[in-house]
Structure 1
Amino acid sequence: MRESATAKALLQKRKWELPALRSSGRRFDLSRLFAAGAVAVIAFIVLCAIVPQWIAPYPPTEMMTDSIMQAPSAAHPFGTDYFGRDVFSLVVYGSRDSLFIGLMSVVVGGLVGGTLGALSGYIGGRLDSVAMRLVDTLMTIPGILLALAIAAAMGPSLTNIVLAVAAAAIPGYARVMRGQTMSINGRPYITAARSIGVTRFGIFWRHVLPNSLSPLLVMSTLGIGSSILAGSGLSFLGLGLLKEIPDWGTLLSQGRGYLTVAWWICTFPGLAITLLVLAVNIVGDWLRDYLDPKKKEA
C-alpha cells in the first residue's frame, strides 16, 4: 500500500511538473520568436535609412498638387500631406535622422558615462567622490528636461540633439558601470592577478573592463529606444533640424494641426516611432535574458 501511495504521489508530482516544463518551453520559444520579429523590423528600418530610394515610391520633396491631403490608398499607402507629399516616402526618408539620433546618442552617452563610471569605480578615492557628486547632481534633473535645456541653449541642429540626449543619458551609464566595476574588482581572480604582479592598468584593461561590459551593452540596447523617443520629442517641440526631409518627430509636429481632418499625416510617423522603440526594447530584453548567467545556470 505504501509503494502504491508513493507511486501515485510521484505520478501526481510528474503530472504537475510537465505542464510547467511545457509552459517554460513555450515562453522560451515565444521570446525567441518575438526577438526574431523585432530584429526583422529593425533590419527593415535600417534598410530604409540606408537606401530609402529603393523603398520609397516617390521622392520625399515631390509635391503632387492634385493629391493634397489624400487619404491612404493603393497609390499612397500612408496618404498625402498638406503639400501633396507622399507620407510613406516621408516616413521612409525620415528614418535616417531618427536612427542616427538614437544610435549616436547611445554611443556618445555610453562611452562618456561608461568610462567615467569604470574609472570612478576602479580608482575610487577623490575621483569617485567628485564624479559621483556630479552624476548625482545631473540625476536630480529629469532627463528630458536636461536634454531640452541643452538643445535650447545650443540651437536646433542634428548634432546638438545627439549631444543633448547623450548628456541626459550619461548619469545612468556611469552609475551602472561604476557598480559593475566595483563588483568585479572585489572578486578572487582580481586578487590573484594582483598577487602575481599584474599592474593596475593591466588588471583594469584585461579583467575588470571586459567583465563589466555586459550590463552596459544591455542598457545601451534598451537606451536606443529611449533616445529615439527623446530625439523625436525635441524635434516635435521645434528644437530639431529644419530641412526639406523632416525626421519622425518633426512629421508629428507638422501633422498635429491636421489631426481632425487628415489623421494619417501624424499617425503613421507616430506608429513608426512606436514600432521601432518596441522592437528595440524586445531585443534588449532578450539580450538581457541571454547574458544573465543565473538564467543560463537554471
Structure 2
Amino acid sequence: MRQSTAAEAVLQRRKWELPAYRGRAKRIKPADLFVYAAGALILIIAICAAFPQWIAPYSPTDMMLDAIMQGPSAAHPFGTDYYGRDILSLVVYGSRDSLYIGFMSVLVGGLAGGAIGTISGYIGGAVDAVLMRIVDVLMTIPGILLALAIAAAMGPGLGNIVLAVAAASVPGYARVMRGQTISIKSRPFVTASRAIGATPFSIFWKHVLPNSLSPLLVMATLGIGTAILTGSGLSFLGLGVLKEIPDWGALLSQGRGYLTVAWWICTYPGLAITLLVLAVNIVGDWLRDRLDPKRKEG
C-alpha cells in the first residue's frame, strides 16, 4: 500500500513537472530573435526586389519639380533628391540589382571555386599542384582590387559586375572545398567503399561531394554580404550598373555631393546596405552553428 502511494506521488509530481519542462524547452532564446528579425528583413527586401511596383509609392523616374531636395515627410518618407525623385521609391527599385549582384555573384563564384577545389582535392598530384598555384596567385591580390581590375577591364554593366565580384571570391571557395575534399576522401567509409570495388566516380558522387557541401553552403551565405558590399563599392566608383534606375551603390555615389545640404539622399541607401549585410551575416552565423557538429556539441 505504501509502495503504490509513493509511486502515485512520483507520477503526480512528474505530471506537473513535465509541462513546465516543455515550456522551458520551447521558450525562444534571445539570440533567436535576431535570427528571426534578420530573416524577416531579408524576406521584406526580397519582396521589394520582386514586386517594386506594388511597394514603391512613386515611379523611380518621376521628377517632381515642386519637391526637389525636400526632407523626409509624410508624402516622401525618405525625402527627394536633386531631380525631385522619391528616395524611398529609388531604394525599393534599387534593391533588385543589389540583391541580384549579391546572390548571382555568390552562385557563380561558389560553383566555379567549388569545382576547382573539389577537382584539385580529389584528383591530387600534378592537377592539384597546378590549380593551387593559380589560386595562390589570385589570393595574393585583395578581393576588392581584383574585382575593381576586372570590372574596369570589362566595362560597366550588370553582368560584368557579377563576373567581377564572382571572380574575386573564387580563390576562397576553392581553398575551402579542397581542404574539405581531402579530409572526406581519407575517411574510413570512403576507404571501405574503395575496398569493395566502388568506382572513383561513384565514391565522389555518393560520398565525397555530399559530405563536402556544408562548409561551402555556410561560406556562400556569409559571402552574400561581402558580395553586396563589393558590388555597391564598384557602383559607387562608377563601374557598376549604368541604368536609369540606379542600385544602392550608385545612389550613394549620386548623393555624396549633397551630404551637407541633403543628408537623406545617401543616408537611406547606405542604411539599406548596412541592414541587409548585417541580416545576411546573422543568418549565415546561425546556419554555421547549425551545420557545424563541433559547435553543436559545445
- TM-score computed with the length of structure 1 as normaliser: 0.90
Q: For 1:222, give the aligned amino acid.
A: L
Note the alpha carbon deviations across 1:174-193, whole angstroms, 9 max, x for none. 00000000000110000000
Q: For 1:56, give the aligned amino acid.
A: A
Mapped to 1, the partners of 2:245 and 2:268 lie a distance apart of: 16
Q: Is the 8 A contact 1:95 1:248 kept in 2?
A: yes
Q: Which residue of 2 aligns with 1:200?
A: 200
Q: Is 1:124 matched with 2:135?
A: no
Mapped to 1, the partners of 2:175 and 2:29 lie a distance apart of: 33
Mapped to 2, the partners of 1:297 and 1:28 lie a distance apart of: 20
Note the alpha carbon deviations across 1:23-59, whole angstroms, 9 max, x for none. xx9x981222111110000000000000001110000
Mapped to 1, the partners of 2:273 and 2:297 lie a distance apart of: 36
Q: Structure 2 matches for 1:79-90, cutoff 5 A?
A: 79-90=79-90
Mapped to 1, the partners of 2:253 and 2:244 lie a distance apart of: 14
Mapped to 2, the partners of 1:196 and 1:234 lie a distance apart of: 53
Mapped to 1, the partners of 2:201 and 2:242 lie a distance apart of: 46
Q: Which residue of 2 aligns with 1:177?
A: 177
Mapped to 2, the partners of 1:75 and 1:84 lie a distance apart of: 12
Q: For 2:180, give the aligned amino acid.
A: Q
Mapped to 1, the partners of 2:88 and 2:255 lie a distance apart of: 14
Mapped to 1, the partners of 2:120 and 2:231 lie a distance apart of: 29
Q: Which residue of 1 aligns with 2:267?
A: 267
Q: Which residue of 1 aligns with 2:247?
A: 247
Mapped to 1, the partners of 2:165 and 2:212 lie a distance apart of: 24
SS at match of 1:244: coil
Q: Is 1:162 matched with 2:172?
A: no
Note the alpha carbon deviations across 1:245-278, whole angstroms, 9 max, x for none. 0000000000000000000000000000000000
Q: Is the 8 A contact 1:31 1:286 kept in 2?
A: no
Q: Is the 8 A contact 1:146 1:168 kept in 2?
A: yes
Q: Which residue of 1 aligns with 2:93?
A: 93
Which of 267-276 and 239-248 deviates more?
239-248
Mapped to 2, the partners of 1:295 and 1:222 lie a distance apart of: 17
Note the alpha carbon deviations across 1:64-105, whole angstroms, 9 max, x for none. 000000000111000000000000000000000000000000
Percent of counterpart pairs with the same letter? 77
Q: For 1:136, give the aligned amino acid.
A: D
Q: Which residue of 1 aligns with 2:63?
A: 63
Q: Which residue of 1 aligns with 2:113?
A: 113
SS at match of 1:62: coil
Number of aligned pairs?
Answer: 274
Q: Structure 2 matches for 1:13-24, cutoff 5 A?
A: none
Q: Which residue of 1 aligns with 2:29?
A: 29
User: Could you say what the CA RMSD is over the residues aligned between the two structures, in angstroms?
Assistant: 1.3
Q: Is the 8 A contact 1:109 1:170 kept in 2?
A: yes
Mapped to 1, the partners of 2:100 and 2:31 lie a distance apart of: 27
User: Gapped runs of 5+ residues in structure 2?
Assistant: 1-24
Deviation of the 1:62 alpha carbon: 0.4
Runs of 4+ in 1 over 4 A off after TM superposition: none
Deviation of the 1:240 alpha carbon: 1.1
When residues 113 and 29 of structure 1 are mapped into structure 2, their CA distance, relative to the original with a 3 A threshold, is same
Deviation of the 1:295 alpha carbon: 2.8
Q: Is the 8 A contact 1:109 1:166 kept in 2?
A: yes
Q: Is 1:42 matched with 2:47?
A: no
Q: Which residue of 2 aligns with 1:6?
A: none
Q: Is the 8 A contact 1:151 1:239 kept in 2?
A: yes
Mapped to 1, the partners of 2:121 and 2:252 lie a distance apart of: 42
- TM-score computed with the length of structure 2 as normaliser: 0.90
Mapped to 1, the partners of 2:28 and 2:77 lie a distance apart of: 36
